[in-house]
Amino acid sequence: MRTLIENGWILTMDEDMQEYRKGHLVIEDDRIAYVGDVTVHEDIDTIIDADGAIVMPGMVNTHTHMGMIPYRSLGDDVPDRLRRFLFPLELECMNDSLAYLSSKYAALEMLLGGVTTCTDMYYFMDRVALACEETGIRALLGETIIQQETCDAMDANEGLQLAERFITTWKNSRLITPMIAPHATNTNDGNIFAQAMEIAMRHDTMLTTHVAEMDYEMAYFRDTYDMTPVEWLDSIHCLNEHILAAHCIQVNDNDLSLMKRRNVSVAHCPVSNMKAAKGIAPVRDMERYGIPVGFGSDGASSGNTLDLFVSMRTFALAQKNRYQDRALYPAKEIVRIATLGGAKALHLDHAIGSLEKGKKADIILVNCDSPSTFPLHDPYSTLVYGANAANVSDVFVDGVHVVQQRRSRIQLRDVREALEVEMHDFYEAAQRILTGL
């Protein structure tokens, strides 16, 4: 099967940042067979006229919690929200059906917004993986491990067993890459982290965890170990190329030096970090050290939207203000973080993140037909400062046309209706817990 996308402004996001103003791209099965400015019509089964739309790699969301759609807009302004509200509600109400429907909704939300690859840590991961396969999104998924009772495990030891079973079950999937996800440096001890890392290394997969995010996390490691969370991970031999560290808001130069030497990647979540008043991560310093960084939306409970257009715009404003430099992060660099940068952070840049011959056909079309995208002088600036998820018209993942003319193969409305029914008990419990705070 060969599909031609023609007449698009192609942003390849390759190492040379090549672009083609009136470009042509050929998809053959699940791969890109050609990208350039030469007309190609031989042996084409389907022709898509981009009609001037931006054609670019699918965006990569390096950190989210798809099962948390039901929590969106609940208790947004509650202090210490994670421990006082989210953990209790999760323990009481989350189940496999809710996680499945929520993940299905989240995957569709991301696809409709131009995200073709996501990294997720949550519970009931077999059901999350099924939701991802059904919707057609590429996903790295890890069972959350935490030293307390959760909605799918009595303790961290059971969580480790679930995590390894999940990795073994899904390791040969076309779209799913299983990994492991100890929750955070302050919610698991060194023994649990060491076991999680041993599993990651034995199966040659990634380990993702929250690092240097919370004030009380930083205080705990300072008072208990006279270390930062990054230094502590290194001290227990759990800082290496398998690590995708989420947030890293409160890292210093020594942390960054260690992370560079150990080949650690970072999932940066500008929207949720600023919404929770946790601070602005020093991304320019991370890149100065050569640390791979990708964007994460965080879960819908934290960042409220899974829209990476919002993340790109928020990132631009935050970093320019943190470093007091208007020229910092030209739009082209920001779009690169959302695509090839995320792919590099996930060690997938050999397959996705740019439009190059031989790479996977993970491609999006962004129509610039809304009021805020005219005139189209600079496609990168338009993507960062003018466009939004509604501008995405078509999405391909692994060569499959999963969104056509702003309509996904599985209708979001149908999933939302099923999710609303499943959320009946959740609504009641959430209001009861919020009332008691």
Question: Does residue 40 surpass a pLDDT of 90?
Answer: no
Question: Domains, the chain, ranges and CATH?
Answer: 2-57+361-406 (2.30.40.10), 59-345 (3.20.20.140)
Q: For position 436, what pLDDT does the model report?
A: 78
Q: β-strands 2-11, 54-57: how paired?
A: parallel
Chain segment 177-186, per-residue pLDDT in tens:
999 999 999 9
Reported as a pLDDT band with limits 50, 70 and 90, residue 89 is confident
3-state secondary structure of 329: coil
Question: Does residue 437 surpass a pLDDT of 80?
Answer: no
pTM beyond 0.85: yes
Chain segment 155-194, per-residue pLDDT in tens:
999 999 999 999 999 999 999 999 999 999 999 999 999 9
Reported as a pLDDT band with limits 50, 70 and 90, residue 80 is confident
Type and span of the H or E element at 395: strand 392-397
Chain segment 379-401, per-residue pLDDT in tens:
999 999 999 999 999 999 999 99
Residue 91 in tokens: 């323990």
Q: Which residues contact 305 (CB under 8 A, 6 or more apart)?
A: 271, 297
Within 66-189, residue ranges assigned H as helices are 81, 87-93, 96-112, 125-135, 156-170
What is the chain's Cα-based Rg?
21
Q: Which residues contact 282 (CB under 8 A, 6 or more apart)?
A: 251, 256, 322
Q: For position 230, what pLDDT does the model report?
A: 98
Other residues' Cβ atoms within 10 Å of the Cβ of residue 42 = 8
Least confident of 40-44, 231-235, 267-271: 40-44
Q: For position 404, what pLDDT does the model report?
A: 97
Q: ω into residue 375 within 30 of 0, thus cis?
A: yes
The three-point CA angle 119-361-209 to 5° equals 10
Query: What is the arithmetic mean of pLDDT over 120-125?
Result: 97
Question: Does residue 228 surpass a pLDDT of 90?
Answer: yes
